Amino acid sequence: MLLNKIGLKNFKCFENQTIDLAPLTLFSGLNGMGKSTVIQSLLLLKQSFDEKVLSKGLSLNGDLISIGTGRDLLYERAEEEKINILLGVGNGRENEWTFIYNRESNFLTLDDFQEETPLKEISIFTDQFQYLSAERIGPRTSFEKSNFNVVEHKKLGIRGEYVQHYLHVFGDEKVDNKEIIKDSKSLTLLSQVQAWMDCISPGLRIETSDYSDADFIGLQYRFANNKEFTNKFRPTNVGFGITYILPVVVSLLKAKKGDIIVVENPEAHLHPQGQREMGELIAKACSGGVQVIVETHSDHILNGIRLSVRKKYIQNNKIRLHFFDKEDKEGIKVHKIVSPQIKEDGRLDRWPKGFFDEWDKALNEFF
């Protein structure tokens, strides 16, 4: 089950904030404005659930995220030492957790839980959830294997560290989401990955090798040269962006209806053309029933999404844009969120100050 709302009270930089979600939700804004904070609320719930402690409190430090202490999570001007996290799902149903900050232990213990939807029905608490952090794995001469993550849970790792193993095991499986098909000649995951990666690096071919005795996966790239292909290249001898973006492309292509993907900075190390294509890829994945929450600083990602609306790849009402900013309130800087909407023709109903307007500012200075 997908999410349609996140509510946060006394959570890090937010005193009381509600964020509406859609199949495609884009977070943008200057650094330190609270984008990652919203994502962290989901990761904390997921991490605490996986570690089987959510019925008692929050696991602040684990495999998904490390916050520190309860004091690090509590809003610094909180009037009461309680933190609330609310998740809204379909049909207006909401699950809400209230945690108490314990000064002595510096932990957060569960005070109250209001459940309207069983957690096993919400995608983030299942294997239908995939998170890719901004700090992903770059080029290596070899990559890790993990039967637990890849074979049993079909996970790529939060840094994409298992994507090569995943492609080696599941590369011949057919892509389930028909909206995302790029090349109809072959519907296998590996073929579709290569078709989309071709937009980033034309003629690219991906090959994996399983070195079972050494328990690692090898990855090689070839490039089309007229009717033939070049010799194999190690990832360390090819552009950094190809390996860095591979987990994002695979996560979107392998996702099925009902899956939730949270990805930070999918544009990292990508040429502007590739960033625009990434926006289209995200939009098409969401059109097929996948939910994507993306944090980005790229106007090219935004433009790829807007053009996808204009080209009817996705309906504009399936998208939410949230611009994170600050404003003065009684002499104090407080966080706020402005949410412009995409019209049916791909244009925005408003353009808030600071929202991907740096190009216009630079042109004004030139002229």
pLDDT digits (tens, 9 = 90+) for 276-330: 999 999 999 999 999 999 999 999 999 999 999 999 999 999 999 999 999 888 7
The more confident residue out of 214 and 169 is 169
Give pLDDT, residue 328: 85
Q: What is the mean pLDDT of residues 332-361?
A: 91
Contact 217, 142 (CB under 8 A): yes
Kindly state whether residue 286 falls inside one of the protein's structural domains: no
Q: What is the mean pLDDT of residues 4-18?
A: 96
Kindly state whether residue 4 falls inside one of the protein's structural domains: yes
Contact 99, 82 (CB under 8 A): yes
- Rounded to 5 degrees, what are φ and ψ at 62? -165, -155
Q: What is the mean pLDDT of residues 111-130?
A: 95
Give pLDDT, residue 261: 98
Kindly state whether residue 316 falls inside one of the protein's structural domains: yes
Q: What is the mean pLDDT of residues 198-210?
A: 88
- 78-114 CB burial, b ≥16 within 10 A, e <16: eeebbbbbbbbbeeeeebbbbbbbeeeeebbebeeee
pLDDT > 70 in the chain, percent: 100
DSSP β-ladder status, 82-88 and 94-102: antiparallel
Q: What is the CA radius of gyration of the chain?
A: 21
**Percent of residues in the chain assigned helix, strand, coil, to nearest 5:** 30, 30, 40
Q: What is the pLDDT of residues 315-343, one digit of tens each?
A: 999 999 999 999 888 778 888 999 999 99
Give pLDDT, residue 39: 97
Kindly state whether residue 28 falls inside one of the protein's structural domains: yes
Kindly state whether residue 44 falls inside one of the protein's structural domains: yes
Give pLDDT, residue 134: 95
Say if pTM beats, i.e. exceeds, 0.85: yes
Give pLDDT, residue 327: 87
Kindly state whether residue 340 falls inside one of the protein's structural domains: yes
Q: What is the mean pLDDT of residues 97-103?
A: 94
Question: CB pairs under 8 A, 24+ apart, for 88-95?
Answer: 88/3, 88/4, 88/5, 88/6, 88/7, 88/21, 89/1, 89/2, 89/3, 89/4, 89/117, 89/121, 89/122, 90/1, 90/2, 90/4, 93/117, 94/5, 94/7, 95/119, 95/122
Kindly state whether residue 281 falls inside one of the protein's structural domains: no
Least confident of 19-23, 37-41, 218-222: 218-222
Q: What is the pLDDT of residues 183-200, one digit of tens each?
A: 778 999 999 999 999 988
Average pLDDT for the chain: 93
The total of structural domains in the chain comes to: 1
Give the SS3 label for residue 13. coil
Which of the four pLDDT bands, split at 50, 70 and 90, describes residue 212?
confident
C-alpha to C-alpha distance for 258 and 156, rounded to whole angstroms: 17
Among 166, 141, 169, smallest CA distance to 156 is for: 166
Give pLDDT, residue 214: 79
List of E strands, 24-106: 24-29, 82-88, 94-102
* pLDDT exceeds cutoff 90 at 35: yes
Identify which of 117-126, 197-206, 328-337 has the greatest average pLDDT: 117-126
Give pLDDT, residue 215: 85
Q: What is the mean pLDDT of residues 238-265?
A: 95
Kindly state whether residue 253 falls inside one of the protein's structural domains: no
Range(s) of the domain holding residue 34: 1-126+298-367
